[in-house]
Chain A
């Protein structure tokens, strides 16, 4: 047992302070208002305060800290994307993640498990090779591996998947990791709070006031707040916010579902993904199998679950691991994914002066939390895009400079 735990036995009173204060009321004005206390909003606040000394900041959250997609995702972190722009960006995020537990002094259970994306067809194998080639070119650990290598990493796997669609090979990404999603939000929240940022939970932004093309403040269910800078980091709620400022984006909302089994003693050490079987799975530190599938194929602003999701997921999981037949699914849930046509995010300034977007995170934004905080805070502080996010501007949909991550995102997360 680490000695650090002794202090809990020594002291009579629980020796821990609040992670985040509960500010009484909104101030009349802030330098920056961030909408959404998910990982992204809180990370932006944290780096604004830490790196730029901008602390007169309010993070407004309609629910509770991390209660959006941050608390619903399946926590896969990786950087083996398909485009150079994407790879560069996510790689920076992975680098930040590795140090985050120490930076925060909060254990995020950042656990490098190794990430396999299966290819069941020749054409999939070819796409894997494409990704591996791009990744290697960019200095990312990423390679196409054969069946034997997969079997060694996961002896339990039925590589033939019950006889149909055998696994032919995989893209292997050693740094692929999982982490405790809530803790990421809490770590950023605590760090921001300690530096003076106010986090207002149960405070909903109902409108954004724009005058002469410039943001002047936000309306909330607790009153009006003056500010010249608003960052929208609301993931599945993005269309509702952009509507407030009359901004058109190609973002659509589609449900993304997930489920967990009951806790089991550890047996699965890697993260396995099969886009063909529409299933990905890892085992959490609590012992649950955390599983997900492809997006629901329609627009819907709701977090309801469906039965067909667990039905088809279970079938495919058993194709891979037939011996799990009697293992039980404990809980299922859904989040609202903010999808873009090219599966890359929409970030940076917008035609409205003082209105910044951190959006289009779809099914893949958890891994980007640290780098989003870094780059959005830079962008807000300097009123100029950080170079890493330049390719992700909203204007690319008018200029036809799409980023093309579809082949690497979707079920891969």
Chain B
């Protein structure tokens, strides 16, 4: 292909750059266009008419609207699919295929489906394939393979994109005459204005519909240069306002990013979508919307055909005729559906050009040549009811048929904003009747079709927005009133015995499909949509919804208003997942000791967002993990170990009401906790279910330091803030989780180690079990707490996070003489299990109450109030129906393994489940916790657990704790002899 036959001589305002020829491939063939061309414009310029295949019948399709939602032509570039060819710019090396063909566009092996259309009435798939049932999977595979459009690319890369948070005083959606004048009016009052327009260039209808009109072109240039020069206006082309969300939060989408715009005022000046007429053959390549042809002519200097017929119902059709004539296209006739036709200077100019106008006529049918493309039409007189007088029909040959019968507002964002729309008879379209605060509509979307009125309406909206912003205090003019005939035909829809009169091009729906849906009872707009799928295709009904409403209204003999519309949901155009996703944000939290752990070959485990060492030395693959864990356990029991507990939630609660606040939040007593002491902080929800536990240490009368579990600390904090506000107590909660590094030094020698680093008295007398103190540890101010989670003498040391590594190193150094061993969460789990301490979330579930966990002792039932108290009173009276019990099993490598979540079975029924189970090196047997019936909780009796492979194993019930029942070790009174 060397020459470009359909390309017109250069014209002012064209969007192509003739100095840059671009070569690309479509369906294996090489094409050339110019930089600035879209795929569609370049293909049409090269003389192609058939550009795609339809969704269901695989019919040949060409340009319909070229209005950025022309899904007649969707292509695949090998990396991406379902790309709208009317927006995709050509670029060197592009290799494109039409989507949804089998074996290419021309030879598409599915094209025979078109001939079977009669077998496939609306909703046919509901009516068959289900009998017999066993055959359905067979049919389903076939149906699924026919559905769908493009094909995924399994090896396409993950694309990360930036995102932007944006703000402006006024967001104007649409850079047509209305939007530009609105923006100027607002900006002139001092507002910061952003204009978003999906097209590559600004100007809207001034770049197609009005582009042949000298005066309009002058207006365009004036507006654009004023906008360009205005420092308050940021004009963003190639940017779609994809969705409107609460409080003027608008998703702006361009090729690169999603911008989230919070706008003070939103002016919707998004114009209209031109609508097709419905007649036999209205989808043949060569039949297109008038504005589509004008886009080709004015933006891309492409002449899509030689001889045209125009199906008209408004004055836009006459401007179109003049544009065609000026481009050297023969206009065979204008068939004007209106009996009165067009009058006035415009009509006179058209007649003067020698164009024959047939008033009160319509297109009865369009014909195809042997290539399946438009070759002619039958025009005949038609009544307002759509009856053709076929006796007076006339065949006219043509290769272009333009539909200029009306528009429907691009009101998608207005609907999303909650605008109430009314059907205005004067313009035969929906217009905003009640707008939400801070949202404005202007121009054609507002029912204003006259160019000069659009300028005025834009200015009105710009002033109204300025007024609302307090930037303007003058008058806001009235909205201009529509004069003259309606630009929109009330019913451009014509029956035909052979059908193929398409209402929905995306979904291949013909007039009879919608009528049949009505016949079957789907005769309200929502049901019709759902049954017929009208409006559900990729263009979301931009070409079909209004005609569907008209068809239904007429069928039911009711008004358009009474018929209503379907809901317009985001997105305006489909938005790529990559833009919504942006850069993947998966926060990962590390304690200040993380580097040390890494250097010590820790294997990490995710605990919520946090990374915690699971076990150390795991890089040494010669030693089984299990052995490493057991080594850590033994070190803590025999000597001393150190664990990073910095991920615990840490909340500083201060204020005169701090104690009172905790009394209400937690189940225990706090007012009487002495300074320098701590107590268990157990939380329940209103229904008495255990939700979290931690400790609450009192450092002063009005200061508590509370811990929460790693994964729930965020929720705990949120909940606390909620209740603080509701109760109006005088206290504050500060999230100190990240402020402190925290480590637990545990084991018989822990006091020896700590004593080397602090001069504080840490003897039992001044820091007994349950005691807390502030002290200097390794030269750093620290909070010390004597805790016993692992069942040994132990100290929790909290220091400012930045000193964490230094203190940790010092502790490790001081512990060297005792063979101190860092330990991870795996060892900790075994240690606490040996001590019989349940973990909330692991050993409890969404219904567990404290009585079932044997934690009734932690409830101060007699205090005036705490969350969950009322429920717990009832539950206490009723008594626990299951209890958490300890059990043990002999270590037997051959026996079926018991795992967490295996069920406890009694008389064939489920009575509970195993919540924790592990081999205890200290006790040399397998120990665990399980829910059992209260009657089963008898030490030395047996319960049945359904183990791996469904094998029932007998476990021995044991009294808790398994280890050190007299708490001598954590009290620090166990003898050190045997271990040293």
- Whether A18 and B846, one on each chain, are in contact in the complex, defined by CB atoms closer than 8 angstroms, is no
User: Is B140 touching A311 in the complex (CB atoms < 8 A)?
Assistant: no
CA distance A277 to B133 in the complex (A): 36
A329 at the interface (CB under 8 A from B): yes
Distance in Å: Cβ of A105 to nearest Cβ of chain B = 8
B585 within 8 A of A: yes
- Please indicate the chain B residues that have their CB under 8 angstroms from the CB of A400 in the complex: 687-688, 871, 874-875, 878
Kindly state whether residue A102 has any CB partner on chain B within 8 Å.
Answer: yes
A214 sits at the interface (CB 8 A): no
Expressed in whole angstroms, the minimum distance between the Cβ of A20 and any Cβ of chain B is 5
A71–B874 CA distance with the chains assembled, in angstroms: 41
Query: Quick check: A287 and B144 within 8 Å, CB to CB?
Result: yes
Chain A, Cβ-Cβ closest to B573 = A328
Residue A210, interface by CB 8 Å: no
Q: Residue B903 contacts which of A127, A133, A267, A319 (CB distance < 8 angstroms)?
A: A133
In angstroms, Cα B136 to Cα A2, docked, is: 11
Is A224 located at the chain interface by the 8 A CB criterion?
no
Check: A16 CB closer than 8 A to any chain B CB. yes
Are the C-beta atoms of A107 and B578 separated by less than 8 Å? no
Tally of B interface residues using CB under 8 Å: 104
> A327 and B580 in contact (CB under 8 A), knowing A2-B139, A406-B846?
no
Whether A123 pairs with B520 at a CB distance below 8 angstroms is no
A164 touches B586 (CB 8 A): yes
Given A311-B258, A407-B845, 17 new contacts (CB under 8 A)? A1-B119, A9-B118, A9-B119, A14-B515, A16-B519, A19-B522, A101-B136, A107-B125, A123-B841, A129-B899, A156-B154, A263-B147, A265-B151, A285-B144, A315-B581, A327-B577, A400-B687
Interface residue? A92 (CB, 8 A):
no
State the CA gap A130–B914 with chains docked (Å): 9
CB pair A314–B127 under 8 Å, yes or no, is no
| A193 closest partner in B (C-beta) | B521
Stretch at the interface among A232-240, A302-310, A347-355, A374-382: A302-310
State whether A331 touches B903 (Cβ < 8 A).
Answer: no
Shortest distance between the CB of A217 and any CB in chain B (Å): 27
In angstroms, how far is the closest chain A Cβ from the Cβ of B345?
45
Query: In the complex, what's the smallest C-beta–C-beta distance from B182 to chain A, in angstroms?
Result: 24
Chain A CB within 8 A of B575 CB: yes
Assess whether B521 is in contact with A20, with CB atoms less than 8 Å apart.
yes
Is there contact, CB below 8 Å, between A264 and B151? yes
Report which residue of B116, B132, B571 has the largest number of chain A beta carbons within 10 angstroms of its beta carbon: B571
Contact (Cβ within 8 A) B118 A121? no
- Kindly list the 10 A-B residue pairs having the minimum CB-CB distance in the complex, ordered from nearest: A287-B148, A322-B158, A328-B574, A130-B901, A314-B580, A129-B901, A101-B130, A18-B521, A325-B578, A406-B846
Q: Contact between A16 and B520 (Cβ–Cβ < 8 Å)?
A: yes
Verify if B450 is at the interface (C-beta below 8 Å from A): no
- Pick the contact of A14: B116, B143, B516, B531 (CB < 8 A): B516
CB <8 Å contact, B845 and A305: no
Given contacts A2-B139, A323-B156, contact A264 B846 (CB under 8 A): no
> In the bound complex, what is the Cα–Cα distance between A267 and B81 (angstroms)?
14
What is the distance, in angstroms, from B501's C-beta to the closest C-beta of chain A?
Answer: 15
Q: What is the bound-complex CA distance between A317 and B118, given in angstroms?
A: 40
Q: Does A266 contact B (CB under 8 A)?
A: yes
Contact residues, B115-157 vs A (CB, 8 A): 116, 118-121, 124-133, 136-137, 139-141, 143-145, 147-157
Given A107-B130, A326-B81, A341-B687: A14 and B512 interface contact (C-beta under 8 Å): yes
Q: Is A25 an interface residue (CB 8 A)?
A: no
| CB nearest to B871 among chain A residues | A400
Q: Is B386's CB within 8 Å of the partner chain A?
A: no
- 21 residue pairs of the A-B complex, CB under 8 angstroms, read A1-B119, A2-B128, A5-B127, A8-B124, A14-B520, A22-B523, A107-B130, A129-B900, A129-B902, A134-B910, A156-B152, A262-B82, A262-B538, A264-B82, A266-B148, A315-B584, A326-B156, A326-B159, A329-B577, A330-B538, A330-B574
- B847 close to A (CB within 8 Å): yes
Give the interface segment out of A40-48, A59-67, A384-392.
A59-67
Residue picked from A107, A129, A328, most chain B C-beta under 10 Å: A328
Q: Could you mark each residue 66-84 of chain B with 1 if its beta carbon is under 8 Å from any beta carbon of chain A, else 0? A: 0000000000000111100
Tell me whether A322 and B118 are in contact in the complex, defined as CB-CB below 8 angstroms, given that A109-B140, A315-B585 are known contacts: no
Which residues of chain A are near B903, meaning CB under 8 Å? 133-134, 137
Question: Given that A5-B120, A285-B143 are contacting pairs, would A307 and B251 also be in contact in the complex, using a CB cutoff of 8 Å?
Answer: yes
In contact, B152 and A98 (Cβ under 8 angstroms): no
Interface core residue of A8, A99, A307, A326 (most chain B CB under 10 Å)? A326
Q: B residues 352-400 with Cβ under 8 Å of A? A: none
List residues of A whose CB falls within 8 A of some B CB. Answer: 1-2, 4-6, 8-9, 14, 16-22, 63-67, 71, 84, 98-99, 101-102, 105-112, 120-123, 126-130, 133-134, 136-137, 156, 162, 164-165, 180, 182-183, 186, 201-202, 261-267, 285-287, 304-307, 310-311, 313-315, 317-319, 322-333, 341-343, 400, 402, 404, 406-407
Cα of A310 to Cα of B155 in the assembled complex, Å:
24
Q: What is the CB-to-nearest-CB distance from B50 to chain A, in angstroms, rounded to a whole number?
A: 21
A326 touching B79, Cβ below 8 Å = yes
A64 touches B584 (CB 8 A): no
- Complex CA gap A318/B576 in Å reads 11
Complex interface: chain A residues within 8 A of B131 (CB): 101-102, 105
Q: Are B158 and A165 in contact (CB under 8 A)?
A: no
The contact of A319 among B124, B139, B145, B584, by CB within 8 Å, is B584
Given contacts A18-B520, A126-B901, A328-B82, contact A318 B578 (CB under 8 A): yes
Binds A, one of B242-250, B422-430, B670-678, B804-812: B242-250
Question: Assuming A8-B118, A14-B516, is B901 touching A263 (CB within 8 A)?
Answer: no
The docked-state distance in angstroms from the alpha carbon of A71 to that of B571 is: 19
Q: Which of B571, B688, B902 makes the CB contact (< 8 A) with A332?
A: B571
Inter-subunit contact B149/A287 (CB<8 Å): yes
Measured CA separation A406–B689 after assembly (Å) = 13
Among the interface residues A16, A102, A164, which one has the most CB atoms of the partner chain B within 10 A? Answer: A16
Q: What A residues does B946 contact at CB under 8 A?
A: 133, 137
Residues 308-331 of B contacting A (Cβ, < 8 Å): none
CA distance in complex: A328, B159 (Å)? 13
Pick from A67, A129, A325: contact of B156, CB under 8 Å: A325
Query: Shortest Cβ distance from B516 into chain A, in angstroms?
Result: 4
B526 at the interface (CB under 8 A from A): yes
* Complex Cα spacing A99 to B132, Å: 10
Known: A127-B901, A324-B152, A332-B570. Contact between A182 and B530, CB under 8 A? yes
B249 contacts A307, C-beta separation under 8 Å: yes
B530 and A71 within 8 A (CB): yes
Q: Complex Cα distance A98/B133, Å?
A: 9
Picked from A101, A105, A331, the residue with its CB within 8 Å of the CB of B571 is A331
